[in-house]
Structure 1
Amino acid sequence: MHADAATHTRSHALPQRIISLSPHTTELAYAAGLGDKLIAASDYSDYPEAAKQLERVANYRGIKMERIVALKPDLILAWKGGNPVREMERLEQLGFTLFYSNPKTLEDIPNTVEALGQYAASPAHAQQVADDFRTRLAALKASRHSARSVKYFYQLSESPIITVAGKSWPSQVFSLCGGENIFADSPAAYPQVSVEQVIVRQPEVIFGTPHSGTDVSVWQKWQQQLPAVANGHLYTLKADWLNRPTPRTIKAVEQVCGYLDQVRQKGD
């Protein structure tokens, strides 16, 4: 059986043995006050610090099915779209309860924390975390209400050059801050692009993250062709804040909004 962030209601039997199958669901579990119930997690589940001590039962290649079954979890936190569908269906067939997380908007983050909080002995902690997120998000939205849009390029990887398009995560962070994605209309969610395509679209700012090996300084050689380079608007963002949809995403919003404000001030 499965539950999700939108439909779960409080159960009389609270889970005591929880497994998380992605880094972002691990972080969400701690945010919701379920950290002391986690018995295993996926690779790269490194926040908060306590998560580093958990046994590893999943990675980008798949999950350790036999080990998960042996651990007898009473709740499994899965990433819809990130964990293999066939393996998730198998866990459900075996009778395990799965909670699927798949935040598509910034508002989905506090909603998911709240939904997970229903599994905690006291949902009050999750409620506080969710409320804090919503308060900070509302303030950021209000402060950007009349800000002009800024054309940006976000580089996910360097070789090949991969970016993010349309409504795929984390486009939501940039758009809230008034960012205009130069590859928003790409048919692929995470398109591979060329240097020439970036130059043609003339971004005012270029963002990258260090964990993917993306050094934004590689664009320096195109200083004459790119306004972002000519004006010194090359910024490195904190990857975990940006790429994992968790309460820390609000820090990514603040970071991106701050950089876009710098671009506006210089240009205006």
Structure 2
Amino acid sequence: MRTFAAMVLAGLCQSVFGAVCATDDRGDQVCLEQPAQRIAALSPGATELVYASGAGEKVVAVVAYSDYPPAARKVASVGSHTRLDLERLIALQPDLVIGWVTGNPQAQLAALDDMGIPVFYIEPRSFEGVSSTIERLATLAGTEASGFAEADRFREGMKELAAAYQNAEPVPVFYQVWDEPLMTVNDEHLIGKVITLCGGNNVFGNLERLVPRISDESVLAANPEAILAGGMGEENRQWLERWAAFPQMAATRKDNLYFVPPSLIQRPTPRLLEGSRLFCEKLDQARSRRRAGEPGKP
């Protein structure tokens, strides 16, 4: 419970100074004198989350691959999430920048902060974190009504999905997040949490790094019953072709090689609900084939 002094201080921040405040994912409180009117989103996921918060019309800058919703494609690009065109960004006069904790160049974001441009850092690591991020962005943008409604829609949808699969038969799963070098996720990663939610058993879940590099040999040794992968594009199944060359592996033998559009599962946005539903459906197919005792068609 907050102390009386803390409650008074919070009230002063909101009322005396007319500010809107929210705490970012680095633990820093960001306060604006008024709701943001010109927002720069510095990752594709940040762009989606700002739009989900109801503040899409206030977005004046995005980065490469910010392709959803379609309206975001018409917004000025200021480079990539790893290399920003600061001159172009500053010229667009944002009054709020949405940064990515581990994905954006820290020196460039620090430069923005030094110039007095507020930077709000995000990096959702849980389902609740996605909802919380939408709510905090809505608070800073003054779009609470639509933002909080969207956050609740996602929150309730994920709860319903978790309830539906809480007693599902475990399926050993390998999720491929990248091709060269070959990479996966551990159980602490948001995708790892999707695997668990759907009743999957992440065969690399105990590795220390969030996104560890692995080898073909380690995948063969783990012998997953299902392999799910994204790819270089929303309809590119090429990453799964390498595993078709290993008929001794359970996933290949049972034809449990599944493609999931990467933007539905690899971005911490409300579309993760759609991606999770698809992920769970693929594992249900693997369970059906296990019970039938024969391979089927994806």
| TM bucket, shorter chain | over 0.9
Range with bigger deviation, 184-193 or 147-156? 184-193
Counterparts of 1:131 and 1:30, CA distance in 2: 15
Pairing 1:23–2:47 present: no
Counterparts of 1:190 and 1:15, CA distance in 2: 34
Pairing 1:243–2:263 present: no
3-state SS of paired residue (1:257): helix
Counterparts of 1:87 and 1:11, CA distance in 2: 21
3-state SS of paired residue (1:124): helix
**1:96-135 equivalent positions in 2, closer than 5 A:** 96-135=117-156
With a CA cutoff of 8 Å and minimum separation of 6, indicate the structure with the bigger relative contact order: 1
Range with bigger deviation, 56-65 or 13-22? 56-65
Match of 1:267 among 284, 290, 294: 290
Query: What's the TM-score once normalised by structure 2's chain length?
Result: 0.83
Residues 201 and 36 (structure 1), Cα distance of their counterparts in 2 relative to 1, 3 Å cut: same
Counterparts of 1:113 and 1:232, CA distance in 2: 38
Give the match for residue 74 of structure 1: 95
Counterparts of 1:168 and 1:93, CA distance in 2: 32
Q: How many residues align?
A: 267
Match of 2:173 among 145, 152, 160: 152
Letter in 2 for 1:119: L
**CA deviation after TM superposition for structure 1 residue 247, in Å:** 0.4
Match of 2:279 among 253, 256, 265: 256
Q: CA deviation digits over 1:63-103, x for unaligned, max 9? A: 11222222221100111111112221221111111111110
Counterparts of 1:145 and 1:168, CA distance in 2: 19
CA contact (8 A) 2:41 2:98 kept: yes
3-state SS of paired residue (1:210): coil
Match of 1:176 among 197, 207, 225: 197
Question: Which runs of 5 or more residues in structure 1 are unaligned?
Answer: none
Pairing 1:35–2:56 present: yes
Letter in 2 for 1:241: L
Give the match for residue 217 of structure 1: 241
**CA deviation after TM superposition for structure 1 residue 127, in Å:** 1.1
Counterparts of 1:163 and 1:205, CA distance in 2: 14
Letter in 1 for 2:244: Q
Pairing 1:233–2:250 present: no
Give the match for residue 62 of structure 1: 83
Counterparts of 1:121 and 1:249, CA distance in 2: 24
Give the match for residue 195 of structure 1: 216
CA contact (8 A) 1:205 1:228 kept: yes
Identity, in percent, stands at 33
**CA deviation after TM superposition for structure 1 residue 201, in Å:** 0.7
Query: What's the TM-score once normalised by structure 1's chain length?
Result: 0.92
Residues 249 and 200 (structure 1), Cα distance of their counterparts in 2 relative to 1, 3 Å cut: same
CA contact (8 A) 1:203 1:228 kept: yes
CA contact (8 A) 2:30 2:118 kept: no
Pairing 1:162–2:183 present: yes
**CA deviation after TM superposition for structure 1 residue 156, in Å:** 2.1
Question: Which runs of 5 or more residues in structure 2 are unaligned?
Answer: 1-20, 292-298
Range with bigger deviation, 161-170 or 127-136? 161-170
CA contact (8 A) 2:55 2:143 kept: no
**CA deviation after TM superposition for structure 1 residue 160, in Å:** 3.0
Range with bigger deviation, 204-213 or 129-138? 204-213
Pairing 1:4–2:38 present: no
